[in-house]
Chains A and B, each alone.
Chain A
Amino acid sequence: MRTAPFEYHRAHDIDDALEWLTRDGDREVKILAGGHSLLPLMKLKLATPTVLLDVQGVSELKGVTMEPGWIRIGALSRYVDLTRDPTVAEALPLLSQVAATVADMQVRNRGTIGGSLCHADPQADIPAAVLALDGRLIVVGPRGERRMTLDEFIVAPFLTVLEPTEILSAVEFPIPSGPQQSVYLKRPHPASGYPIVGVAITANVPTPGHLSNVRVVVGGMGSKAYRAYATESTLNEKELSPETLRQAAEVAITEAQLSDDADVPYHSQLIRTYVERALHRLYGGVA
């Protein structure tokens, strides 16, 4: 399959890229990173941009840097980079773990964190990790830089607040203060490997058997990854036992955000089972 014809340009740096994006308002310019979401869409003619702007040479979008209290991950970081980078593995083991579950080795060698977030596929793995780790998306445009949460960035399936003149440059994550536990548990679709459900949980462990700052995120179903706030409340500052974990999983069903075409009993059961299993895995690590 071939894509529709397009013009191809390589951006040399971020200013060059922003200039290309603002140069001609009539033409649809799409940013090409790893291409593993965009090119399949273009081959199916579901996307037909006039101009492809290849940003793989833009150094400002690359690399992992530590700042006081924060870790900054360039938007061009590939899944394979996230799984191998010792800084990421140390500070954000959840992100490494999630990246390692994405698709297969060949795809992880190309696909990027920024590309996944901008594609905003409701079945992607990365958004759940970004939400659970309280990441901030750094968006640069002609009017400067803005920072937002994943919830603010992704509006609906395949739709973000990114303006045509803007680029997602990086994601910043707060470095957890104190010991943090995290887990990602996913049920991959047997053919596609996309999560049917993916549950990401992070929590601080002030004392054994207790959790605080619990964030429970459900991804892979519904229109976008979401936090299960009521489920978190049943766990925060409570004495943990297998019974409280089971109750928390029941609560997760009551606040499930399923898509319109969901098989409600099946997907509810999946949420309960995967939230409970994920909590057990987390609890096993903290008790």
Chain B
Amino acid sequence: MENHLTEITMTVNGVSVSRNIEPRVLLAHFLREELGLTGTHIGCDTSQCGACTVLIDGEAVKSCTVLAVQCMGQSVTTIEGLAQTTLHPMQAAFREKHGLQCGFCTSGVMMTAIELLKQYPNPTESQIRQGLDGVLCRCTGYETIVRSVQHAASLMSKQELPQEEEVG
């Protein structure tokens, strides 16, 4: 049973990947060790700290508590998948508003905040704090994290304006 491998195919950051893996490989390990995407961090490994948060089909999920085999056919986005030719507005906002200190939790916080802004494009401070309930910053840098997410919301709403004009 130790060597029982399962073939898995999923899309990671827009690229289809296939591997033969043990079923017990967690998504966090799959991303880091099989694909070398070490931007996804493993903090507590007990589904509490949220540092390992990635998007599965657009939803924020703690990848230390998901088996890679559960993601068969699904689309995973990690921190590496955010920046295109320029930084994602979330990354730009965190840089500008000093949203990271040691940086360990940052990728998980940003992935969580991306889903948060999908739900609340213009969030209140309270909505941000509640939405980020599942990520812990051991530097306790929450004030700047909240400011960064507010700034990201503002950047992203500006980004979307031209598109709306085109539609109108």
* A interface residues (Cβ-Cβ under 8 A, vs B): 1-8, 10, 32, 35-36, 39-40, 43, 50, 52, 54, 56, 80, 103-107, 109-110, 192-193
A2 contacts which chain B residues (CB < 8 A)? 24-26, 29
Nearest CB of B to A35, in Å = 6
From B6, B22, B48, B65, give the contact of A39 (CB < 8 A).
Answer: B65
Given known contacts A5-B2, A5-B24, A36-B47, A106 and B53 CB-to-CB distance under 8 angstroms: yes
Report whether A40 and B24 are in contact in the complex, using a CB–CB cutoff of 8 Å: no
A40 CA to B67 CA, complexed, in Å: 11
- CB-CB under 8 A for A56 and B65, given A7-B23, A107-B134: no
Please name 13 pairs of A and B residues whose Cβ atoms are closer than 8 Å in the assembled complex, sorted by A.
A5-B22, A6-B1, A7-B23, A8-B6, A39-B65, A52-B23, A54-B69, A56-B70, A103-B134, A104-B134, A105-B60, A106-B50, A109-B59
Cα distance, A95 to B67, chains bound together (Å): 28
Which residues on A sit within 8 Å (CB–CB) of B131? 105
Q: Which residues of A contact B22 (CB under 8 A)?
A: 5
Q: Are A5 and B4 in contact (CB under 8 A)?
A: yes
Docked pose: A52 CA to B70 CA in angstroms = 11
A110 touching B24, Cβ below 8 Å: no
Indicate if the CB atoms of B67 and A35 lie closer than 8 Å. Answer: yes
Query: Which residues of the other chain, B, contact A80 by a CB distance below 8 angstroms?
Result: 59
Q: Give the Cβ gap from B90 to chain A, nearest Cβ, in Å.
A: 16
Q: Tell me the nearest residue of chain B to A78, going by C-beta.
A: B59
Chain A contact residues: over half helix, strand or loop, or mixed? loop
Closest to A10 in B: B72
Q: Does B112 lie at the interface of the complex (its beta carbon under 8 Å from any beta carbon of A)?
A: yes
10 new A-B contacts, CB < 8 A, other than A5-B23, A7-B4, A10-B72, are A3-B24, A5-B24, A40-B46, A43-B45, A104-B133, A105-B116, A106-B47, A106-B62, A109-B59, A110-B62
Report A27 CB to chain B, min CB distance, Å. 11
Cβ proximity bits B21-41 to A, threshold 8 Å, 1 near / 0 not: 011111001000000000000
Given known pairs A8-B69, A32-B70, A35-B65, the reply for A104 and B6 (CB within 8 Å) is: no
Chain B residues whose CB sits within 8 angstroms of the CB of A103 once the complex forms: 134
Distance in angstroms between the alpha carbons of A121 and B4 in the assembled complex: 32
| Minimal Cβ-Cβ distance residue in B for A100 | B130
| Closest B residue, CB atoms, query A4 | B24
Contact A107–B45 (Cβ < 8 Å): no
| Contact A36:B1 (CB < 8 A) given known A103-B134, A105-B131 | no
| Docked pose: A10 CA to B22 CA in angstroms | 15
**Known contacts A8-B69, A56-B70; is-contact A40 B112 (Cβ 8 Å):** no
Q: Provide the bound-state CA to CA distance between A7 and B3, in Å.
A: 10
